[in-house]
Chain A
């Protein structure tokens, strides 16, 4: 039976469907992308994530998998014979998972507050976010990718947020290039990859979208 892979998402989602898209592209796995809005019931026969009431969902042969890092590991395990994204050595693998988890836990909250809020809340969030960027810059060091020579798990996890970087820079009033040159060059290298270019959301569209939401949230 041929594999049927569906990605169900909302295009500006900060929950990083781009992560799964990049991974599937690197593995050469075809998928069907279906857009939905988070507050609208899907017409597909599967239910939206019943617990978190959110998308994105990766649906493989009818079975749904939620959460970007879990999807990433799943993709790596199912399509294990091409382009491994995680190292095979247990210690190196644990390090990759650690950084994936760091990005997952530490990035999202301050990041959305930087573009989505104003005043004290934004100032505090920006300080926190810049610290996390600094940690990521240090961890990258002089490596080509977080995976060393391999554009791997951590790279894909972080690039999943890339569509939002410009919005965060604009509303947070800082420049990743100026403050984190290594990270900036790393993004450029990642953007040379077809899998990335074809998977990430349009940064300018996201800025427009974020502007609308800022007004809605009362940040402007």
Chain B
């Protein structure tokens, strides 16, 4: 442990390090935004692999992907704000449920009961949110937009509250970020699958 403190950036003895380094270098592209993306996503990914059980990883990784996209894009964009807001709300809901479980069920097997309760409650909340969304009145300043625009609104996060013009703008930025994220993830998959 003490030796590590004094060593300079340690050359990795791991034989796969070269590939990893190349992959990391490739992932950290010239643009700072791509670097931010890679940084956030990789850190989240490593945490997920440590923490999350396998059956729930896909969903968590997907959410981590969107969160890292949103963080890399910054708060200037409506879609990134919407994504981060969703993630925060989800965490808050989960924290509330966990607390509720801990308080009420000071009982054995908290994981099964609490997990089930969490899922049910989360499902109920999301259905309520969906119902609220369905009954939401669309903003009225959409005279000239085509009827397909609502499908786009559903796709782009935060798209419900925008005008058509800004929806197109946000879609463009969202597409760029999404493409960068997909490239990053594809690179990671290639990296890890060739080991």
Question: Does A associate with B in a complex?
Answer: no
